[in-house]
Structure formats: C-alpha cells, structure tokens
Amino acid sequence: MTSNTASIKGRTGTGAKLIIDNMLIIILIFELMIGAVLSPVFLGKTNIEGILINITIYGLLAIGQSLVMLVKEIDLSLGALMAFAPIAAIALTKKILAVSGSDVIVGGNYVVDGLHLIVLFVLVISALIGVLNGIISVKAQVPSLIVTLGMLYVLSGLSYILSGGYSLYLTNLEGAKWLGSSKLASLPVNFLLFLVVGVLVIFVLKYTKVGHRIYSTGGNEKAATYSGINAKFWKVTAFGLSGLCAGISALVYSSRLESVETTQGSGYELIAIAIAVIGGITLEGGKGKIFNTIIASAILCIMLNILSLIGLVAWYKTIVIGLIIIGAASQRVFSRK
C-alpha cells in the first residue's frame, strides 16, 4: 500500500514537473489559439512575418540581456545602443571614405555608400560599448544598473550630436534592406539569423567551459574565483556579447525601416528584461536557459501583436510589460518560500 502510494506520488510529481518545465510552450500554444480566435488576420502571412521580425529584434536584445543577467548584472543601455551604433558607424564611414573622395551622405541625410563598412562598424562599436560597460562596472566596482543607466544617457546624447537630430535614410543605399526584407524558404532571413544566434549561444552555454564559467560566475562569484575562474573577465565578456547582440538587432531594425533614427530602440531594454524574466532568468545570477528566453520572446511579441490587433494603444502595452516584469519577478520570489 505504501509502495503504491509512493509510486502514485512519484508519477504525480513527475507529471507536475513536466508541466512546469513546458509551461512556456503551453502558454505559447495557448496564445496562438487566442490570436486565431480574436482576429481573422492573426494567422495571415503578412502578420506572421511581422511577428517573426519583432521576435528577432526583441529576441536578440533579450539573449544579450540574459547573458548579462546570468552573471548577476543588468544592462540598461541596449536600447540607446541600437541608435548610437548605426549613427556612429555611418559618421565613421563618412570620414574614412571622404579620404578617397567618396560621398557617403548626400542631400543632407541620405546614405548612399559604405554599406559593408557601416555593418562592420555597427558590430564593433556595439561590442566595444558593451565591453566598456563591463570594465567600468567591474574595475570601478560600480553597480551595472548605475553604469548602464548613465551610458544610456551618454549614448542618447551622442546620437543626437552625431546626427544633428535628423533621421538618416538608407533607401538609396544598395543592399541596405536585404537583412530586413529578404526571405529564405518563406521565412525572414533575419529570423533565421536570430535562430542561429540562439542555437549557438545555447550550445556554448550548455556544452563548453565558457557556459560553465558564466553560470559559476553568476551563481557564486567568490566560489568561482577561488576555483580559478576569472569572474571579472567573464562579466566583461557577457557585457560585450550583450552589446554585440544589440548591434545585430540594430542592423535588422534599420534594414527593416531603411532608416536610422535617434529614438530607435528607445525603451527596448525594458522589453528585453521582460522577456528574460518571463523566460526564467533572474537577477540572482547563474540560473536560467537561453532556450526559454527564445520562447519567451515569441510569447511577448505575440501578446503585443494580439493587443495591437484588438485595438489597444501603445500606452496600455507599456503597462502590460511593466506588470509582466513585476508579476514574473514576484512569482520567482514567492516560489522560493
């Protein structure tokens, strides 16, 4: 009798754990069903493509934010970096090509040349800003919340200074819209890029020493240091990778709109945090899976899409995002009690 009872409890416990482990996927499926019921255009080709592109833009930021949160830090500069990196890259390309007599910008704010250099500089600048955030936080022992909040304002100001406050248009730049609009096997190329980045990060964290060191650094920095892990290095590395993810996201965003604006990415750092929290990444560090971050990206983007389809204005969406952050974070706290 006792054996049977224990067996039943064991099976019940296993079933409950299975449901919890797959809760995000269950929520995702439930959302898809709700969307299909509430709007006839939800499953339309154009709407699905829009969702996938949004998943890419927000998801890349969320992956970067998740890496930083895994080492028990946070990055509030990601949104501002999405604007600064391409603006700074265009300004730098303009100066370099001016030596050879090539005009990068014509008509005041139309970018017409230097695509490859711009792409390269966006990625390099983004990664370097991320590394700088990490170095300041680690070396000066200033909380990353303060460092990256300050960097947010610095980058926002520099974006206005470099651009003069004007938008830069990429409509006359050959190849600029490829990443934002091209498809492969009916799927947006940028979404496939997002999946590649996600799978690569999952593989590195799960199957290499890099992942072990990042999780160890976030889980217990002192213990990691005593065991020979250079915790400070891995914190800086996480910030650098976060910046790089923001740079890739900026390329997708700008390519999609065929423009670069000083306000692009504004507030996106909060969406990235919301996605990471939904996916189970906590500020305690050392806990969470990037796979869940990817699923959470889809959950949030689909939810925002449904809210748009039913006519909910943007301000209500920000309230929803804020409540999600508070609710998910509170749930984590209560679940430990």
Evaluate whether 272 touches 181 at the Cβ level (below 8 Å).
Answer: no
57-211-229 Cα angle (round to 5): 130
Determine the pLDDT at residue 285: 84
Evaluate whether 144 touches 133 at the Cβ level (below 8 Å).
Answer: yes
Each residue's pLDDT, cut to its tens digit, for the chain (337 residues) gives 455 554 544 454 454 445 545 888 998 999 999 999 998 999 999 999 999 999 999 999 999 999 999 999 999 999 999 999 999 999 999 999 988 888 888 988 999 999 999 999 999 999 999 999 999 999 999 999 999 999 999 999 999 999 988 999 999 999 999 999 999 988 999 999 999 999 999 999 999 999 999 999 999 889 999 999 999 999 999 999 999 999 999 999 999 999 999 999 988 999 999 899 888 888 888 888 999 999 999 999 999 999 888 887 777 777 877 887 777 666 555 555 5
User: Residue 78's closest CA among 244, 235, 229?
Assistant: 244
Determine the pLDDT at residue 325: 74
Instruction: Set out the domains of the chain in order of their start, with CATH numbers.
Output: 56-327 (1.10.3470)
Task: Give residue 198's identity as a one-letter amino acid code.
Answer: G
The pTM score is: 0.90
Q: What share of the chain is helix, strand, coil (3-state, %, to 5)?
A: 75, 5, 25
List Cβ neighbours of 138 (8 Å cut-off, separation of 6 or more): 232, 235, 236
Determine the pLDDT at residue 319: 82
Determine the pLDDT at residue 23: 86
Determine the pLDDT at residue 17: 47
Determine the pLDDT at residue 16: 45
* pLDDT tens string 287-321: 889 999 999 999 999 999 998 888 877 777 778 77
